[in-house]
Amino acid sequence: MKLAALFSALALGIASFASQAADPVVIKFSHVVAPDTPKGRAADYFKKLAEERAKGRVKVEVYPNSQLYKDREEMEALQIGAVQMLAPSLAKFGPLGVRSFELFDLPYIFPNKETLYRVMDGDIGKKLFGLLDAKGITGLGFWDNGFKQRSANKPLHSVDDFKGLKLRIQSSKVLEAQMKALGANPQVMAFSEVYSALQQGVVDGTENPMSNLYTQKMHEVQKHLTLSDHGYLGYAVIVNKKFWADLPADLRDTLNKAMQETTVFERKIAQEENDEALAKVKAAGTTQVYTLPYRDRVVWQQAMLPVHKEFEEKIGRDLIQAAYQTAATVEKEKAAKAVAPAMKDKPGPVKATRPAKPEKN
Ligand code: LMR
């Protein structure tokens, strides 16, 4: 009996030594933004959770600020397995051949974050992730950043102010059409090149949520900023499909749970990060900050709305309609919940005759 116990203890010891000695699975997580942004902080948070929970079986190496790869290169690197995890913005999936992600780029399509999260976490999000399968990619979650603001070296108040301006965009055909609808000249450019392009006058302006604008120091080279919330920027966290499928099932489960928790964390901090960044830009005093009045939002929206129709086929009419429907449902639920009567000028979803007004929540 004693001998048997001794043998089993010995066997256990050898097994645990062997598992400790096995090399951890390395996950290279590459991204293009600064560590102190919603995405940057979430990547670090995921690393911490995943490494703790996997108890030495996983090592997550986070490479921020395009240190390893720029926008387009990182997608290719993921597909060939040179990196295992990315969180590209939803505007960067078009070049992969999955244009439906450009749904998120449609101007003023999401009146609030509730609508957005329902779209991401519901059937639309599932359908979008399904499209990645054929590209050798698995989607793990959608992360938030925020609504975009516009900057330039001249004030951007009316639609006419955009005429002829060279404006940097991400690699999305919807964003290209949106800039053209305003009379501007869109220039696709990697995120890592934007600051110097603005500084050298290669482009006149750009659009981004505040956290990106501030951490890339764009406010130092942009005299004017218009708070317009005209479009959205968020992310899909993706992994190399084969890498993910080949992981032991229990480890994949652990990592999936860590990702779910990270997503909750990420969405919680996104708005805070953007609010803080706006306060810092104001404090820096290099940029004049202008809040687009509601009456002008309506005009901007009318100018850009034809883009929705133009991209129906490329994105998928069903997806666009489902997003409108989600916005309408959220709006209805809010109205039903409101204790006070709804404000008279409260706008409905984008499809309604009155334009949607993004809310920060
Ligand atoms: C951009 O290129 O402007 C953004 O997609 C950067 C990012 O990842 O937030």
Q: Is the pTM of this model over 0.85?
A: yes
Check if 89 has its Cβ closer than 6 Å to any atom of ligand 1.
yes
Residues of the chain short of pLDDT 70, as ranges, are: 1-21, 339-361
Check if 287 has its Cβ closer than 6 Å to any atom of ligand 1.
no
- By CB neighbour count within 10 A (0-12 exposed, 13-18 middle, 19+ buried), where does 340 fall? exposed
Is the separation of the CB atoms in 145 and 350 below 8 Å?
no
Q: How many CB atoms lie within 10 A of CB 200?
A: 9
Is the separation of the CB atoms in 141 and 63 below 8 Å?
no
Q: How many CB atoms lie within 10 A of CB 49?
A: 20
Sequential DSSP letters for 121-174 = HSHHHHHHHHHHGGGTEEEEEEEEEEE-EEEESS---SGGGGTT-EEEE-S-HH
Cβ within 8 Å of residue 336, ≥6 positions away: none
The whole-number pLDDT of residue 202 equals: 98
- Ligand 1 center–CA 218 separation, angstroms: 13
Instruction: Region of 222 please: left (phi>0), alpha (psi -120 to 50) or beta.
Output: beta
Q: Which residue has the tokens 């102190």?
A: 36
Check if 226 has its Cβ closer than 6 Å to any atom of ligand 1.
no
At 343, list the tokens.
Answer: 């404000």
- Ligand 1 center–CA 54 separation, angstroms: 30
- Residue whose CA lies nearest to ligand 1 atom number 1: 191
The whole-number pLDDT of residue 338 equals: 85
Quick one: the chain helix, strand, coil %, rounded to 5? 55, 15, 30
* CA–CA separation, 24 and 51 (whole Å): 10
Helix (H) or strand (E) holding 175: helix 173-181
- Ligand 1 center–CA 63 separation, angstroms: 15
Check if 212 has its Cβ closer than 6 Å to any atom of ligand 1.
yes
At 27, list the tokens.
Answer: 């996950």
**How many residues are there in the chain?**
361
Q: What atom of ligand 1 comes closest to residue 206's alpha carbon?
A: 3
Chain centroid to CA 310: 23
